[in-house]
């Protein structure tokens, strides 16, 4: 078992361009742009392990080939990587965040080997993340 696993990168490959009501994530009153301002966080339970910068006003091509990248560089010890992690995507707004979607998952399983990348969701889903991992021995 590795001593730690580092989440080097979280790539957003696909996200819904409209909210669940079928509207733009931002209305014009919020600013000059209506597309979502992407922000992610990574949590274990209620503890925020990483809260990203914001990528303003992005559109998904819906083909699962978006390259909106965040770089948590988050090292998790064995307690951390054996815990369930929550990855969530938000649209940042000046006074709040709109929740776009997310996944609860384990990034390590004793029987799954040591993949360098891990896909959360499938390309048929509305939201897809790709994690880039590094193992420290």
Residue numbers of the site for Ca ion (CB under 5 A)? 25-26, 37, 91, 93, 98
Q: Please, which residue, 8 or 54, has the CB nearer to Ca ion?
A: 54
Q: Please, which residue, 40 or 76, has the CB nearer to Ca ion?
A: 40
Question: What's the min distance (Å) between Cβ of 29 and Ca ion?
Answer: 10
Question: What's the min distance (Å) between Cβ of 11 and Ca ion?
Answer: 20
Q: Please, which residue, 98 or 125, has the CB nearer to Ca ion?
A: 98
Question: What's the min distance (Å) between Cβ of 90 and Ca ion?
Answer: 9
Distance of CA 93 to the CA centre of its chain: 17
Question: What's the min distance (Å) between Cβ of 66 and Ca ion?
Answer: 17
Q: Please, which residue, 18 or 136, has the CB nearer to Ca ion?
A: 18
Whose CA is closest to 12, among 112, 80, 91? 91
Nearest residue to Ca ion on Cβ basis: 37
Burial grade of 3 (CB within 10 A; 0-12, 13-18, 19 or more): exposed
């Amino acid at each position: 078992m590795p001593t730690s696993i580092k989440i080097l990168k979280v790539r957003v490959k696909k996200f819904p361009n409209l909210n669940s009501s079928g509207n733009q994530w931002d209305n014009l009153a919020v600013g000059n742009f209506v597309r979502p301002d992407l922000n992610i966080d990574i949590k274990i339970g209620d503890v925020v392990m990483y809260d990203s910068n914001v990528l303003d006003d992005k559109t998904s091509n819906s083909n699962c080939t978006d390259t909106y990248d965040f770089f948590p560089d988050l090292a998790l010890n064995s307690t951390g990587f054996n815990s369930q992690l929550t990855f969530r995507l938000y649209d940042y707004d000046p006074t709040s965040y709109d929740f776009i979607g997310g996944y609860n998952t384990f990034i390590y399983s004793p029987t799954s080997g040591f993949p360098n990348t891990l896909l959360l969701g499938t390309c048929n889903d509305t939201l897809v993340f790709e994690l880039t991992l590094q193992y420290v021995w």
